[in-house]
A and B are shown apart, each in its own frame.
Chain A
Amino acid sequence: MSDQGIKSRPKYAPLELDPAGRHHLLLVEGPALPAEALAEGFEPAAFETWTVVNRSALLPVQVVDAQGESVRPFRAKGHLFSALEERLARETMGLRLYATGSEPFLWDVARIADAAGMSRQEIRLAQAGSKARRVFCVHCRTYGEGVTTSIFTCGGCGASLFVRDHFSRRHAAYMGVQVDAEVPGAVPDAEELYA
């Protein structure tokens, strides 16, 4: 059940610098770079890094620390995304975008990059931290956030949704399909799969 054999589910690799890039912007869904997301020999000083610290009393100002690493903290994901949209709108060719964090964060970034005209080859993503899923209810189009079980109740239409491994990059979400549509009420036990 944990691998349904569906091929749309993204695969990730530890982050490495793309030598074809002119400038490298790294987005981190947290206050610090997670070691699990980095390839061997990763050199943080080569990147402009944006982080998410989940705190209101700060200004998103770029600071270069003692190690020569340039870090700009944001109050929350939404705060970072709005800055990213503005930044990509005035970027030119040669930018490479890197992101690490939970899957919904990665594909929210990818969607913003896509809207700005970046191709998939210009973006590198590395999953880190929670494996919780965002799930799109195919029946009522409500997104469920932080789903960790094989079956959960849709917050929109109330259906018991089975979480398929079918993943849409555009929705940044997995597909949820009613598990008891053929025999209403026959809902199997949910398994904790995506902690």
Chain B
Amino acid sequence: MTLQFKPNETFRRDFTYRNSSAAILHFPFPFPEDQYMYSVNIEPHVKGGASPAYDHVFDVDEHYVAECRERAQVLAEDPKRCQVLPHMMAAQWDTLELLMENLAADYPAHFSLTKAGDLWTWINRPLGLHQSFTFGKAETLPCPPFEYITRQAQGDFTLQDQREDNLYVDGGMVTTQADWSFEFDIGMSFHEWHGPVPLAHEKGVFDRALKYLLRLQYGAPVRRLNWTMTINPRLDTSPENYPVWGPDKASVTPENVGQKVHLRVELQTLYRLPRSNAILFGIRCYLASLEEVARVPKWGKRLHRVLRDLHPDIEAYKGLPRFRQMAVDYLAPLDDGAELSKGIQSELTAL
């Protein structure tokens, strides 16, 4: 896909964010079946697969420039959205290396990385950055290495330290989150930061996921999709700013539901880091309005069925009760009840 960035779109106030037809087909639709329940839906993060969002290690799309600007805005308002505990310095450099090497390899037209020993030169053309620095020497960058590189990436990132047979969320860049507070959760163990999620603890999901992740190998990253729904294309739905965005939920009407209600998908990726043995967790957020999702007939029908039959505890946890029924009513006329193929693929080549 040739990328045509849309640098002026916004994720607040006038909400000018929209998906082009190509971006809709690029959207990682999260439901392989007509029903949804929590599971350990982890698979190897290899290139290719059911969604074009899997074609690159770190996906860059038409919203890249605008999302980086939105991140800078959130950080200006609340610098604590990016914090890394002091013992995580090696993991900071690991992250910078992983992102720079993969962005440069996957998108050579946009990013380049050259190395002369420890002297590295990084060029980010979409953001107009040209930076020479010494790898391992934080004072040669304008800000700490984890912050430096994650300011230039879409999606949130957290750093998990591995010790005592557990994972601790000891660092993060979190500005595009689905209602969890990094400032509150920093330092928590795996089960603690997942504490509020309903049903999944009882199903043993977190016990199994933790065991799996403790054995995650360098060079063999994994991924899963997660989802919720957001009113307006707002990236920063943090608990910190809940008083700011909460009233949006009461603004949905049967007339505006197709434009206002967005399916919010997280492409979650996990990488073992080589020096620190920490895990980098990428949480890449995609937003598409119901109207946009429904342009792919299979997805509109399936979303209708998932929302119609959703477990009430999951509906409550994801904060959907005020508008779920309106979304179901909007999608119902588009669903002829036909049997749909398993899997998330759109089954279209163009829109």
B247 to chain A: closest residue by CB: A182
> Does any Cβ of B come within 8 Å of A6's Cβ?
yes
Q: Is there an interface contact between A171 and B247, defined as CB atoms closer than 8 Å? A: no
Contacts of A9 in B (CB 8 A): 195
Shortest Cβ distance from residue B184 to the other chain A in the assembled complex, whole angstroms: 5
Q: Is there an interface contact between A138 and B239, defined as CB atoms closer than 8 Å? A: yes
Q: Is there an interface contact between B196 and A6, defined as CB atoms closer than 8 Å? A: yes
Q: Is there an interface contact between A177 and B239, defined as CB atoms closer than 8 Å? A: yes
Bitwise, B233-258 to A at CB < 8 A (1) or not (0) is 00000011111001101100000000
> Does any Cβ of B come within 8 Å of A141's Cβ?
yes
Contacts of A159 in B (CB 8 A): 243
Bitwise, A1-31 to B at CB < 8 A (1) or not (0) is 0000111110000000000000000000000
Shortest Cβ distance from residue B242 to the other chain A in the assembled complex, whole angstroms: 5
> Does any Cβ of A come within 8 Å of B277's Cβ?
no
Q: Is there an interface contact between A175 and B181, defined as CB atoms closer than 8 Å? A: yes
Q: Is there an interface contact between A139 and B242, defined as CB atoms closer than 8 Å? A: yes
B191 to chain A: closest residue by CB: A7
> Does any Cβ of A come within 8 Å of B261's Cβ?
no
Q: Is there an interface contact between B322 and A182, defined as CB atoms closer than 8 Å? A: yes
Q: Is there an interface contact between B247 and A8, defined as CB atoms closer than 8 Å? A: no
Q: Is there an interface contact between A119 and B164, defined as CB atoms closer than 8 Å? A: yes
CA–CA, A167 and B195, complex, Å: 9
Q: Is there an interface contact between B243 and A166, defined as CB atoms closer than 8 Å? A: no
Q: Is there an interface contact between A138 and B196, defined as CB atoms closer than 8 Å? A: no
Q: Is there an interface contact between B247 and A166, defined as CB atoms closer than 8 Å? A: no
Chain A, range 181-195, C-beta contacts under 8 Å to B = 181-184
CA–CA, A41 and B95, complex, Å: 51
Bitwise, B178-202 to A at CB < 8 A (1) or not (0) is 0001011111100111111010010
Contacts of A165 in B (CB 8 A): 195
Shortest Cβ distance from residue A159 to the other chain B in the assembled complex, whole angstroms: 7
Chain B, range 190-229, C-beta contacts under 8 Å to A = 191-196, 198, 201
Shortest Cβ distance from residue B230 to the other chain A in the assembled complex, whole angstroms: 13
Please tell me which one of the listed residues B164, B192, B243 contacts residue A8 in the complex, with CB atoms under 8 A apart.
Answer: B192
CA–CA, A178 and B322, complex, Å: 17
Q: Is there an interface contact between A136 and B184, defined as CB atoms closer than 8 Å? A: yes
Contacts of B193 in A (CB 8 A): 8
Q: Is there an interface contact between B196 and A184, defined as CB atoms closer than 8 Å? A: no
Q: Contacts A168-B188, A182-B250, A183-B250 given: A138-B195 contact, CB under 8 Å?
A: no
Q: Is there an interface contact between A6 and B181, defined as CB atoms closer than 8 Å? A: no
Q: Is there an interface contact between B191 and A138, defined as CB atoms closer than 8 Å? A: no
Q: Contacts A170-B187, A182-B249 given: A7-B242 contact, CB under 8 Å?
A: no
Q: Is there an interface contact between B247 and A184, defined as CB atoms closer than 8 Å? A: yes
Shortest Cβ distance from residue B261 to the other chain A in the assembled complex, whole angstroms: 15
Shortest Cβ distance from residue A133 to the other chain B in the assembled complex, whole angstroms: 14
Q: Is there an interface contact between B188 and A8, defined as CB atoms closer than 8 Å? A: yes
Contacts of A6 in B (CB 8 A): 195-196
Shortest Cβ distance from residue A176 to the other chain B in the assembled complex, whole angstroms: 10
Of B183, B184, B188, B193, the most chain A CB neighbours within 10 A belong to B184
Please tell me which one of the listed residues A119, A168, A181 contacts residue B247 in the complex, with CB atoms under 8 A apart.
Answer: A181
Shortest Cβ distance from residue B83 to the other chain A in the assembled complex, whole angstroms: 11
Q: Is there an interface contact between A141 and B198, defined as CB atoms closer than 8 Å? A: no
Contacts of B247 in A (CB 8 A): 181-184
With A139-B242, A181-B246, A182-B322 already in contact, 9 other A-B pairs whose C-beta atoms are closer than 8 Å: A7-B194, A8-B193, A8-B196, A119-B164, A166-B184, A170-B188, A175-B239, A178-B242, A181-B243
Interface on A for B, CB 8 Å cutoff? 5-9, 119-121, 136, 138-139, 141, 159, 164-171, 175, 177-178, 181-184
Which 6 residue pairs of A and B lie closest in terms of their CB atoms, listed nearest first?
A8-B195, A181-B246, A8-B192, A170-B187, A7-B195, A182-B246
Interface on B for A, CB 8 Å cutoff? 164, 181, 183-188, 191-196, 198, 201, 239-243, 246-247, 249-250, 322
Can you report 29 residue pairs joining A to B where beta carbons are below 8 Å apart?
A6-B196, A7-B194, A7-B195, A8-B196, A9-B195, A120-B164, A121-B164, A136-B184, A138-B181, A138-B239, A139-B241, A139-B242, A159-B243, A164-B196, A166-B184, A166-B196, A167-B192, A167-B195, A169-B187, A170-B186, A170-B188, A175-B181, A177-B239, A181-B242, A181-B247, A182-B246, A182-B249, A182-B322, A183-B250
